[in-house]
């Protein structure tokens, strides 16, 4: 995929993700927070199962448990995010959730890149990257204060 198209598509999906905490919080008011997180993941799981089957990639599921255990943590990490976001959105708003999420993701991603964790190519921690994180921290502070 062209890099420009990839960035655009990811930005659009990222924008749509801004809806997720508010949608799940509304669901949580009706069902309770844990139930809302479960419903969110069940619906997502059913949608992804249909996509996997329709794309003809279901045969790839057989190798799932041949991987090291830590490659299976994605669902648990997603569940932790969904639950946390739907709980805190009422305190810091959708903008605060997005800002804190992006700041945490980028900060931790820079460390993962530096260490070359999970097969990532090692990347140095540069002044530009540190300045970027500091600016994100400042932006997050300004959004949630």
Using an 8 Å Cβ cutoff, are 86 and 138 in contact? no
Q: Which of 10, 143, 133, 50 is nearest to 89 (CA)?
A: 143
The Cα angle at residue 81 between residues 39 and 42, in degrees rounded to 5: 20
Distance in angstroms (rounded) separating the CA atoms of residues 72 and 65? 8
Host domain of residue 30: 3-144
Q: What is the pLDDT of residues 42-64, one digit of tens each?
A: 999 999 999 999 999 999 888 88
Q: How many domains are there within the chain? A: 1
- Grade residue 65 by pLDDT with cuts at 50, 70 and 90: confident
Q: What is the pLDDT of residues 67-108, one digit of tens each?
A: 899 988 999 999 999 999 989 998 999 899 999 999 999 999
pTM of full prediction above 0.75: yes
């Amino acid at each position: 995929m062209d890099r420009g198209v990839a960035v655009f598509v990811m930005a659009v999906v990222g924008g749509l993700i801004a809806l997720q905490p508010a949608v799940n919080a509304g669901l949580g008011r009706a069902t309770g927070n844990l139930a809302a997180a479960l419903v969110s993941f069940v619906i997502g799981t059913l949608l992804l199962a249909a996509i996997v089957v329709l794309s003809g990639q279901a045969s790839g599921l057989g190798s799932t448990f041949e991987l090291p255990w830590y490659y299976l943590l994605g669902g648990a990490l997603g569940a932790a995010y969904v639950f946390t976001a739907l709980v805190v959105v009422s305190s810091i708003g959708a903008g605060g959730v997005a800002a804190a999420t992006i700041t945490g993701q980028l900060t931790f991603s820079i460390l993962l890149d530096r260490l070359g964790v999970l097969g990532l190519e090692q990347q140095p921690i540069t002044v530009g990257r540190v300045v970027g994180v500091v600016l994100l921290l400042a932006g997050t502070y300004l959004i949630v204060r």
